[in-house]
Amino acid sequence: MKDRSETASARASEVARIKEILAREYKRWHDSKGGSVESWLHIVDNNIQFGSLAEGMPAATFTARVNGKQDLKRYFDGLRDGWEMIHYTVDDLIVDGDRAVAVGSTAWRNKRTGKVCETPKVDVWRFHDGRAVEFYEYFDTAKLIEAAT
């Protein structure tokens, strides 16, 4: 049986690892202006459960619930087909155990309307065995609709 210090050390190591992975990927996402999709696909589990507050609404059908890595590619394709990233800023990255929360803001320009959606953004993650197994995003859906129509 592991003693408490070994368990605490392993937990601290996993927390640091998750924080490093997400900090790197969010920086890459911002710097590439949404071009680092393959990098995101590399850190997710094949069976990722991925959701969005927009839930596939007509202005953003790509946000429909994602079940698995192959389906996640559809989400990214729809996002990049319809929107151009202006910025993706993470102000706080909080990790506790296998859970992580990224708090910040993002702005995207709709390619069809030319309008910009600037919104606060919160992403909630869960990791298992070093891979992201759950994700849910929160943002201002009214601003998304306004920019898309």
Any idea what the CATH number is for the domain that residue 89 is in? 3.10.450.50
Given pLDDT bands bounded at 50, 70 and 90, which one contains residue 11?
Answer: confident
Q: Cβ distance 66 to 50 under 8 Å?
A: yes
pLDDT digits (tens, 9 = 90+) for 40-94: 999 999 999 999 999 999 999 999 999 999 999 999 999 999 999 999 999 999 9
Q: Is the pLDDT of residue 1 over 60?
A: no
Residue 8, pLDDT score: 80
The whole model's pTM is what? 0.92
Q: Which residue has the tokens 């601003």?
A: 143
Per the structure, how many domains does the chain have? 1
Given pLDDT bands bounded at 50, 70 and 90, which one contains residue 146?
Answer: very high
Structural domain for 56, as ranges? 4-148
The dihedral built from the CA positions of residue 53, 146, 78 and 40, taken in this order, carries a sign that is negative
The closest alpha carbon to 92, from 124, 129, 115, 45, belongs to: 124
Mean pLDDT, residues 127-138: 96
